[in-house]
Chains A and B, each alone.
Chain A
Amino acid sequence: MIAGKRMLSASSQAHGSACQGDDSRAALTFRGADLLADPSGALLWPEEGILAVADLHLEKGSAFAARGRMLPPYDTRATLDRLAELIAQIRPARVLCLGDSFHDRRAAERMDAADVERLCGLTAAVADWVWITGNHDPEPPQGFGGRVAAELSVGPLTFRHEAQAGAVGELSGHLHPAAAVALAGRRVRERCFVHDGAKLILPAFGSFTGGLNVLDAAFDGLLAPGFEVLMTARDRVYRFPCARLSPDRAR
């Protein structure tokens, strides 16, 4: 097919058996760690058996319903479905949820019993499940299993919710990055990973989570010029340098 795909499949062969033959993922060497960006928005670190996801925002639908906007109540189920599929396929030793896993403090009360059971089953099936705290869930609800941490360092990398200016080797969520490219008169806008060699920000994984354009002012001062995005679109990951991206509106 095309160069990008070929390169990715070649490099993905080198890492853990779980990823073999799956060329939909994009390989990325970050501070010496060989990572894989999955089209679902999850990040894989095969060497450490780590699966990281950011911003699940479980029970976002019911949070809106409580305020009179009757969004469908199926977002938790949809998010867990996708997460369960990844876990079954990859069998990670560790799952890191990078904060804002629960949309608000009362998310657990509103969660459907079947979803509660489902989530407990998932955390039980993974040796080490870490709820990193976020601004939406500074105290993640008890009773779902797993442990809570403000941040977590593994080798050269640190996982936390919000990116900190100047931090190096940091993986975070919070900002829900998305990127847009103009293609032959059309515009495609999708969630993306973004990294500049020092930091990597994951896209939001939750079913009801939108995206913020990486060219938005909120990213100012966090990313070095010349950053790259890995855009997730229709079951594939596409790489674009920041120069190729288009803003949502001129600044």
Chain B
Amino acid sequence: MKAFTVSKAVTVLLLAGLVLLPLYSQLSGNIFILTLFTRIIILALAAASLNLIMGFGGMMSFGHAAYLGIGGYAVGMLAQEGIGSGFIQFPVALAASAIYALVIGALSLRTRGVYFIMITLAFAQMAYYVASGLARYGGDDGLTIYKRSDFSGLIDLGNRVQFYYLCLACLFGVIFLIWRIVNSRFGLVLQGLRSNEQRMQAIGFPAKRYQLVCFVISGTMCGLAGALLANNTDFISPAVMYWTRSGDLMVMVILGGMGTLFGPVMGAVVFLLLEELLSQITEYWALIMGPLLLLIVLFGRGGIMGALGRAGRG
């Protein structure tokens, strides 16, 4: 029954690998791999948050990178103004993302389908141009963050290993929350709406209200990823909000498996590792990456998790 499946085994291996990675990095002296995986984990967190609205909620948001920027700018701008405490920066980053999601969601959810994709994209591009216009905070060139968020000795974000584990803990925490949400009353309504909105209205659920709340939860989670990302790069620029980044996040989710708990993590790892490896081989790595992703999406329905599921059934 529910015992052993291939996809479960692979997931467990992946998670164990992520937990043990700093150990490997320390033993082999390979610091680069730790930096790379810190970034992968942060983007996996963003992809997981996107998966909540896209995979479970059926809302194709094409503007998810906006939250990476908002979370990041919250940290960067506060640092610039001399407020270095993470206890202030992180809550502000989450709150700003939540408010943005509330406004954008309330407007976007009046539309459906392609229009929803377009309007979320449009808002994210607006956020991009607003950030480009912030002369005080570097404008187009971005903003260097000279000091990482300070958690007054509780945890040192400057320490690579500690920062890595903080990111990993955030990722696990968010996935745990998503797991609870998906199986809760709210989550069932959400998935019901994905499946058949008219039916859900007929049995007494006002669709928009639930979708909006989900939109806000997802945006807030992604704002957390943004705050971590800014700390990771010690830098924030409008580029993190550019629409191609939103596209990357979508690809990670689809690649890993929409509507699965660990699919986005799998997708982020594979996508970013491929990007890294291919760009070492050739400058034109995107030429290989594009068709490769196309093949996976075309022939591996349900993404990597779907393919593993099929492999498990023989």
Are A and B physically bound partners? Answer: no
Q: Which residues of A are interface residues toward B (Cβ below 8 A)?
A: none
